[in-house]
Amino acid sequence: EQILKVHMRRVPLAADIDASVIARGTPGFSGADLANLVNEAALFAARGNKRVVSMVEFEKAKDKIMMGAERRSMVMTEAQKESTAYHEAGHAIIGRLVPEHDPVHKVTIIPRGRALGVTFFLPEGDAISASRQKLESQ
């Protein structure tokens, strides 16, 4: 979180920015990865003619870095969208029901990279070690 804040000093931030939420959602990111995240978020804000960078832009930047750019050229039928939505909802439900599982952060059926959809779980803190039950719940 501290490294992220160093990089965030270079851009104007909206009042809704929560560095701890961003940091928890970027486990394993190096300092360079975090700098890239801030730069991508600033680019999204600039493309949207915004004067400040908000959590929305940070979410878009994180999605792009972690999963790849949106595949807007990929056309999904309504049946494919529905099937993908059920599949991702299943991940979210299981994540909610399994003990010691990280909480659901975001579910999307927007195709990115090789995935048709994805369910994001947000770690509640830095995990240096984990219990057997925690590992099995993942």
107: β partners: 119
Whether 88 is catalytic: yes
Catalytic annotation, pick one of 70, 88, 100, 124: 88
CB 26 within 8 A of CB 37: yes
Transcribe the chain into DSSP letters: -HHHHHHHTTS-B-TT--HHHHHHTSTT--HHHHHHHHHHHHHHHHHTT-SSB-HHHHHHHHHHHHH-SB-TT----HHHHHHHHHHHHHHHHHHHHSTTPPPEEEEE---BTTBS-EEEE--SS--SS--HHHHHH-
Tell me which residues are annotated as active site: 88
